[in-house]
A and B are shown apart, each in its own frame.
Chain A
Amino acid sequence: MGCCHQSCFWYQVSRRLRIKVKSPSSQDEKTREEIIAAREAKKISKLGKKQKSTLAAPSTEPGPAPASLTGTTIITEVEQTTITTKLTRTTTTSGCKKNVVEKQGAVAPTPIATVKSLPGIPGDESGVSEKSRDQIKAEREAKKAAKQAAKANKSTEKITQQLGEVTLDGANSVPGKATVKATSLATAPTEQKKPVTKAERRAVQEAQRAAKAQAQVQGKSSQSQGISLNASKSKLNTTSTPPRETELSPSKASSPSKSPQAIGNNTPKSEGRVKLFNHLLTADKDASLFINDAQVHPSIARLGVQYAQRTVVGSNARCIAFLHALRQVVNDFETPAKKEFGRSLDAAVKHHVDHLHKCRPLAVSVFNAYKQFKNQLTQLPTDKPETELKELLGHFIDTYIENQIGKAAQAISSFLQEKITDGDVLLTFGCSSLIHFICEEAKRRLVNFRVIVIDSRPNCEGQEMLRRLHVHGIPCSYVLINAVGYVMPEATKVLLGAHALLANGYVMARTGTAQVALVAHAHNVPVLVCCETHKFSERFQTDAIVYNELSDPNQLVRNEKCCLNNWQTNSRLTPLNLNYDITPPELVSAVVTEVAILPCTSVPVILRIKPDIGY
């Protein structure tokens, strides 16, 4: 699999790594487990935000509550395979990790099933990790059975399950609804699996659609949940396991209520749009419109919600999450009769990717991974049995994660370790997993340096970076981006992460990166952008307006007393929350990739020699 020159290339990279990096090879074995652990940890920390634990499920593990409660809502890039162990430790307590280690011998699907079913228990932080293997297996079997039944009957059962899982996640991650949801779903585990007739289900759906129509804004969510609560009591579930006992009602009710805030720059009124960005505003996206989609795999649906809710942020994290979900899709995929595996899977995956794109415009890393996967599909041998093909694809996904993200991070870090010397003052912006990894390595090598973290509203991702660096004992300073001119004279180097590298040499990164590079250039401080090659894109762009992503303008409103509080009522006032901006190549001294340290203008060269990357 894969082109031979790719393997040559990796050989070179790994050879370099062998010389430079001392990380134990045993880490590779654990990578999959670590990935899962990390995902678990992410879910746990997300759940950990919920204060109530109303379920009866016993918990012997000390929940990850303390760590995850203090953790931020944004779970930034967690998954880098070789660094996953360390990251897992920082984001969760040891409890979860132990749990994962227990399952070491488990077959791949099982841990994933664990991961998937975790959010099924709402409001229960500690009980999450308590799943026994049998329970998981039972859940999985039931799910599979249900899926089969669904496919056979073409009933809405699967929808139920999907919705349950999906919107349960959504329910969990919507802030401020903890109490209501917890109580409403408290009834979930106690309900038994009962056959649901189509008519009943349809009635329930009608009720929910009525509820959804009412739920326009946040404030009305509780009301709709009240309605849904009543509806749910009468609802019957086919699933056998507690997590699967989802109510359509809370799910559906919650989805419309969270859709206004989850999806893009979507305001109830049509004013409050910035004309400059009209091309970026899509039609009002209502999550429930497509969340009902029968053909979307639950893991993809959940991922979509995670993307939309900003639970999973960061280029690498999104890519890894996508690939895990994709692997699950592949494993659960059943070729329809008289169709070829490769082509039908291709169509199915395309459908899933479209779904994700609707939830949140695809990250460049995700898009590239998808392209690679598609490429892989076309090269599948046709004579092998399906299980073997699935294994091949699974293996490809694992290799992709391992090489493009894990090993690339190591290579980049080894390049940079030569540049970081004693007495250095590194300046960084926002939170980048790669930069964190590099700093960690440098600290391990006992280099005496300190870091200045620049942060910006409204997301304040820099606080997460600060927290992580603090764990390693790296002395840090912290300022907001307007004070970057104040701290820049002290800095000796600027290290920036990137979302993508465009083909004309421009760097696409979080809003504010270009400003930091600008001030650094004015002070003659070298700017290093660290970017793995899987983030290279063939797009050309010269400014940040022609293509960008707009996120929720309400994030700019600070609190109730803020002057912008009722900006929707004023047609002239619009807050604007841009996600990305473009840094011109003259402001960047060097781009560090796993291939080499390049000048910013050499991106097309890499695209040329590595034709299979960067779409």
Chain B
Amino acid sequence: MKFTLSWLKRHLDTDASLKEISDTLTAIGLEVEEITDQGRDFAPFTVAKVEKAEKHPDADKLRVCTVKTADHGTVQVVCGAPNAKTGMKAIFAPDGSYIPGLDVTLKATKIRGVESNGMLVSEKEMCLSDEHNGIIELDDKYEIGTPMAEVFGLDDPVIEIALTPNRADCAGIYGIARDLAAAGLGTLKPLDIKPVKSAREFPAKITIDDKDGCPMFVGRYVKGVKNGPSPEWLQKQLKAIGLRPISALVDITNFITMDQARPLHAYDAKKLQGDVRVGTSKGGEELEALNDKTYELVEGAVTINDDSGVIGLGGVVGGASTGCDENTENVLLEAAYFAPERIARTGRDQGVESDARYRFERGADPEFVVAGMELFTNMVLEICGGEASEVFVAGGVPEWKRTIEYDPAYCKQLIGIDVPKDRQIEILKSLGFEVKASKITPPSWRGDVFGKADITEEIARIVGFDKIPALSVEGPVIPTPADTILGSAMRKARAALAARGLHECVTWSFLAKDQAQAFGANDNQIAALTLQNPISSEMDVMRPSILPNLIEAAERNEARGFAGAALCEVGPVYGGVKPDDQRIVAAGIRSGSNAARHWADENAARSVDLYDAKADAIAALEACGAPGANAQISADAPEYYHPGRSGVLRLGKNVLATFGEIHPSILDEMGIKFPVVGFEIMLDNIPQAKKKGTEKSMLKLEPLQPLTRDFAFLVDENVSANDLLRAATAADKALITDASIFDIYQGKGVEDGEKSVALSITIQPKGESLTDKDLEALSEKVTTLVMEKTGGVLRG
């Protein structure tokens, strides 16, 4: 909402400075977004007199002018304008001033050897117009030193406020003035609207069929108007707030819309066919609107009709067929009340933005319909002449009165400051509220005030939020943990993964449909999780997995010349639209080469493999207190992983994590040319620790040293490491505390279909040392069990 200072002062009698007004507006909830003060911007430029203009000694097209100024004395200016001549009044820009049209700051110079100070400017150089045929030439009536802004009427600051949707009343400048007056910044000038008396009957009929959308429609005929350009003052005001003057009648409606938040309309009566009816659109009707657009109407809009059909979208936009033009002689004036919800819906469905819609959908003042018509008529008669009929009122003022029970003590209870009762009443009255004992009636223009909290807000904002004392909020002395269990898991997982070298990312919750399909969403899920109004088809389905976003991110990094991205994200995935269908996952990928080549490690630059992903998954699980390396493992990872190079870490049915190489076909489909491994940790599935205490189990340290024994077995190549280790440790679960594989070999010396697996077991003697015999027996048992369980033979 924009207005000028002078327009505000039509309604507000005040000595306050622009800064005071601006600060107060913000303090009472009418936040000032911008103040454009061209008077200040143009301050350096003043009227000057060219006392002498002579040809430049060395240039035919230049003139050397002696210019008399008010603040800079008499200066010499070299000027290229053809119209520079002795005796003229012009606008002088001194050295040091900024010329907006040229984007330069002036400084004294020599032009072809002749000294030149400042310049005489054109309209284009001042950004006033495109006129650049010569310098500005002024009437001799202007005194030397008169500010340029004053000459051009630009000395009126324009204030723009961000109007919150509840304040329909301040969509009119009068409402803003009323708020400022209530805040003590001056006196609100009373509105003096004199009803226009007429003995002439209203010569037609208005019928309302859609009383729900339009409870009241007031009409009046004015005969014999002249619809020329509107007077200069009116044009100037409209231009200052960015409205284009069109014709007197249109300008008057715009003026009252801005001034009183009261949209109006004028129909050319000669173009009307028959009586006016207010109805409801069925959908599909066509309207050529005054904004030069043609609309196919949506269903349920409030329409203004005559015998020709729809001639306007009530409260939104008027029709071209009955629009006023320079030939208009007789007019039908309209002042109506339209229901906010209907206007909001029509405006949105039909996609029309207009000043009328803006005000009606926020709620026009229901008591200001007839008054608005009188104001309208007065201005029309004054500016366009003519003879008015009596007022015709169809329908009536909609019910708006509310009484609110209010106890002034509530103010202290809610906002924490004690505002005396009398002061509260004074504030409410200055805003137009009626106060009778404990009963308060908000004024007709405040459709946003319903309850006692609303009333308190009025008092709070006028008193000032800065008057409310700030009270610190304290926690308990012994703090309770703020995090949830899931929140802690997210925190630990991301730290564990970043510590392992993955950069944490945040990617969109949505992705392209084909990727949702590729990464596990079924048809039902895709149907339920497709956005109806996506930003693009690349971002239209809620993600079933984080992996595709990370893979694409790796691809973007590769394209920038940074291959081998290792990325993770901790965030939601979606299996359906119910709250429980959202799961929190910590996912990550590694791509390309595991690390850069390094002089000290010839294997550093190896390609990433599934064991990298497995290690990431285990590290994050263990950071979250879940079993990682000790979890059960199965080979049934989702189909978007490589079928033979992927796995699942689980506790029974409960899937803790999946990991593996991303399926090569999917990478191919995505256009990815480098290897990618990934993992997904289901943070919601991590079992919560059962015991509540803080103590750990008692640590027992064996005094005897542990021993290790190495074995190499020839086994079928399909025997899993897990089975082999399990068989070996079964030899003595008490003594064998660890078993690990340190080498796997296939090739020369090992038959096809077999592999040689070297494993090391750690034996921890308990209490007494083991004899060579004991150890021999144990080794024997390991060999026997491995043979029994896996068919493995000790390699000679």
Q: Do A and B bind each other?
A: no
**Which chain A residues have a beta carbon within 8 Å of chain B's beta carbons?**
none
Chain B residues at the A interface, C-beta cutoff of 8 Å: none
